[in-house]
Chain A
Amino acid sequence: MDLHIVWFVLWGVLWAVYFMLDGFVLGAGMLHRVLGKTDIDRRVVINSFGPVWDGNEVWLITAGGATFAAFPTTYALMFSYLYTPLLLLLFGLIVRGVSFEFRSKEESAAWRGCWDWAIVLSSFVPALLFGVAFGNIFSGLPMDQAGYHGSLVALLNPYGIVSGLLFVMLFLEHGALYVAVKSTGELSRRAESLARTLWIPLLVVAVAFLGYTNFATKLYDNYLKTPVLLVAPIVAVAALIGVRVLLGKGNTLSAFTASCVTILGVVGTGVIGLFPNLIPSSLDTLYSLTIYNSSSSEYTLRIMTAVAFMFVPVVILYKIWVYRIFRGRVTAEGVAADHEAY
């Protein structure tokens, strides 16, 4: 078994699961002021992901750690080349985490309003920047033997922006559906109807992204070579349509599940298209970072594979167990009565 390929798959899976899980937190975070007309409604939204957001974010840390351990050269160059966007993303994640914790620790409306806007902004910025970063990775970074020739402005190219918008829209839809599933009454209905409204711009951006990808990247080459891989984009598109169909039937839980599949499919589509690159060079393929020229030694990959196969299943099991503990809807009464709630 080629361990490089195993780690490429794991790398893709870690990112995909991260976006599926943190995607609804980012989306709900962006929307909590729109959806929550009153303070208690906003607290319901925040508490709907309260017990799980921290564990969801760890998928990002693990994706980062896995890149470091399995593909250290990619880790080093990706993080230093994308310095400024990653810094802004980091600030977003820092502010978001403390905002959840700090928001309800004071009564004052000004205090809470402040942290509310911090939550909105710190959810939007990472969502957008993840999209911009991945768009640029899909289309390749300007790097050769002398290093990197790009800049922050260059990252904000039209394709990067479309990709950023796609991530924002995906997460908004995902977040609205999550709130619809996890809350009750008027708040849930409002979230459901917002999910219906958001679906149309999401579709438009998704179509634009798929079309633009053909011109801006070489992602489709792998699919032309091995058509069976097309299953990933087909699943993504089918699930996206499924979201709307299921919403039409009023089945929000299934629609949310379909939205999960959409995100997994979108990330899968991008990652499969990249193979065997982790970051293609837009100047010359000779300087692309691939799973072979940027990886750890065989020995390290073996150790890390053993660790991953031993512990990731355990993590998944207890995560599922925790989601079961906190299943069911969050109500205004429940949040008001629970002095441990956010």
Chain B
Amino acid sequence: MDVLTLSRLQFAITSMFHFIFVPLTLGLSVLVAMMETRYVLSGNEMYKRMAKFWGKLFLINFALGVVTGITMEFQFGMNWAEYSRYVGDIFGAPLAIEATVAFFMESVFIGVWAFGWDKVGRRFHAVSIWLVALATNLSGLWILLANGWMQHPVGYVLRNGRAEMVDFMALITNPFGLLKFGHQIVSGYTVAGFFVMGISAYHLLKARNREFFKASFGMAAVFALAASIMVAVIGDFHAADVAKTQPAKFAAMEAVWNSCSNAPMHLIAFPDEKNECNLVSALPVPGLLSFLAFHDTNAQIRGITSFPKDERPPVLPVFLSFRLMVGLGTLFILLSAAGLFLSRNGLLEKYPLFLKLLVLCIPLPYIANQLGWLVSEVGRQPWIVYGIMKTSDAVSKSLELSQVIGSLLGFTLLYGLLGFVDIYLLAKFARKGPEETHVGATNAFRN
């Protein structure tokens, strides 16, 4: 193993770990804000308790999201110094703007929200969680504009031995980044929707705080259904954009080896990388792939073999991740539609099996989110900036192997430990009902 491989592994581990916490933060902040707004508008105390109960889980999750985010910023300089030097002129800007316009707002108002229940007025308090939600989503926008630039570089020239920005507007209107942002945000909402549905289902099975959790479930089901439909719709646009801007990634996603027009979609396929063909490909739907990519059944799809060998992404992981992600996405639409139907008709508790299923489904949107990033980031390889810079040229030159081995071990141990504790606490407070979370002065040390 060399510095490059270990740095890549480290980046994969630290970003995927960071990404366990981010999607829930994106969605749960909005859900909690909606709950608190209902409280402010109706004066119904149950919605206040809802905001507090789900807010507690939000805070436990939020803490790890924030601290693991710092790692991401540091790592660009630490492990990817050549990258930072080469593209910093254009890539640094969205990161700095994210800190200034989004991260400050998020971190300041989360303090107001968590500690300000008795210090600011009701309305202001609700506004503060909306500001947190807005800032969290705005953070996502800037980060995905930065990532979108790596995927589809725009608004730059190569000059003075580096990429220099010449068009800021192009950077912030980059369709790749905006589509990715749209797709990611609603994926985060799906995670939050299933998180709240799953935990509510758990309590409904135990028949505790039924009104409270039925109301939570109802809100989450609407949220999850709307979000998961949006995921599919924006995802479709996103994939079509990928077909145009990153044909090698698209070919890997669909395991298309040879260029062809009127390309069929094989419902069952399995790629064989060594022989550059598909081991299995059955149930073709003629022209569907061409249609999905270019909205024209006769459009030409470039195959993997049309790219030089050193410019191809690994096909199998990209293909499998994509298929699995799409499959899960479809499942989310069906499950949340069923959830909404049952909850609207007051039938939830009649179907304990469905409730049990939803508890088990809590991790699935998380997995779908991770798979999406695998498609996106592995599919971009061997490029770090598509078409401009290869990942192998991006790694820091001054690093020694021992340093990266040390940091990788450190991250693995630390993140493993913290992840374990965080999930333990999330589970503990999720299992507790809202009454236990809401402790008064008599329970001085409970928290």
Chain A contacts to B: CB under 8 angstroms: 39-40, 47, 50-55, 57-58, 60-62, 64-66, 68-70, 72-73, 75-81, 83-84, 86-87, 90-91, 93-95, 97-98, 100-102, 104-105, 107, 147-148, 296-297, 299-300, 303-304, 307-308, 311-312, 315, 318-319, 322, 325-326, 336-342
Contact = CB atoms under 8 A, between A and B. Distances in A.
User: Taking chain B's interface residues, is the majority helix, strand, or loop, or is none over half, making it mixed?
Assistant: helix
Nearest to A298: B164
Given A322-B111, A340-B114, A342-B447, A68 B88 contact: yes
Interface in B397-419: 397-399, 403, 406-407, 410, 414, 418
B70 A94 contact: yes
A94 B68 contact: yes
A101 B108 contact: no
Contacts of A337: 440-441, 444
Identify the 10 closest CB pairs spanning chains A and B, nearest first.
A72-B88, A79-B77, A69-B92, A65-B96, A68-B92, A336-B444, A80-B81, A51-B111, A69-B96, A101-B63
B356 interface: no
B93 A300 contact: yes
Interface stretch (B117-125, B191-199, B243-251, B358-366): B117-125
B398 A304 contact: no
A58 B104 contact: yes
B383 to A, nearest CB: 19
Contacts of B85: 72-73, 76-77
A147 B398 contact: yes
Interface string B49-86: 00010000001100110111011011011110111110
Interface residues of B, number: 83
Interface string B99-134: 111011101111110111111100000000000000
Contacts of B324: none
Interface of B: 52, 59-60, 63-64, 66-68, 70-71, 73-74, 76-79, 81-85, 87-93, 95-101, 103-105, 107-112, 114-120, 159-160, 162, 164-166, 168, 396-399, 403, 406-407, 410, 414, 418, 421-422, 425, 428-429, 437-441, 443-447
Given A101-B60, A308-B100, A336-B445, A90 B406 contact: no
B116 A80 contact: no
Contact of A58 (B59, B87, B99): B99
B100 A307 contact: yes
Given A80-B79, A299-B165, A325-B119, A68 B63 contact: no
A304 B96 contact: yes
A97 B63 contact: yes
Nearest to A333: B441
A40 B165 contact: no
B110 A107 contact: no
A297 B159 CA distance: 10
B70 A61 contact: yes
A339 B432 CA distance: 15
A336 B441 contact: yes
Contact of A299 (B103, B166, B396, B418): B166
Given A78-B77, A297-B160, 15 more contacts: A61-B99, A72-B87, A80-B398, A80-B399, A91-B414, A98-B422, A102-B422, A105-B60, A299-B166, A300-B93, A322-B112, A326-B111, A326-B119, A336-B441, A341-B115
A66 B303 CA distance: 42
Given A147-B398, A339-B440, A303 B93 contact: yes
A68 B20 CA distance: 26
A54 B117 contact: no
22 contacts: A55-B104, A55-B111, A57-B107, A62-B100, A69-B96, A72-B162, A75-B84, A76-B77, A76-B88, A80-B77, A83-B396, A86-B78, A94-B71, A98-B421, A101-B60, A105-B428, A296-B92, A299-B166, A307-B96, A312-B100, A315-B104, A339-B446
Contacts of B396: 76, 80, 83
Given A91-B414, A94-B67, A97-B66, A338 B118 contact: yes
A315 B99 CA distance: 11
A265 to B, nearest CB: 25
B95 A65 contact: yes
A78 B76 CA distance: 11
A57 B106 CA distance: 12
A61 B103 contact: yes
Contacts of A65: 73, 92, 95-100
B153 to A, nearest CB: 15
Contacts of B422: 98, 102
B407 A87 contact: yes
B126 to A, nearest CB: 15
A93 B63 CA distance: 12
A76 B81 contact: yes
Contacts of B91: 68
A75, A84, A104: residue with the most chain B Cβ atoms closer than 10 Å: A75
Contacts of A341: 115, 447
Nearest to B89: A296
B100 A315 contact: yes
A202 to B, nearest CB: 28
B77 A75 contact: yes
Contacts of B71: 90, 94
Nearest to A62: B99
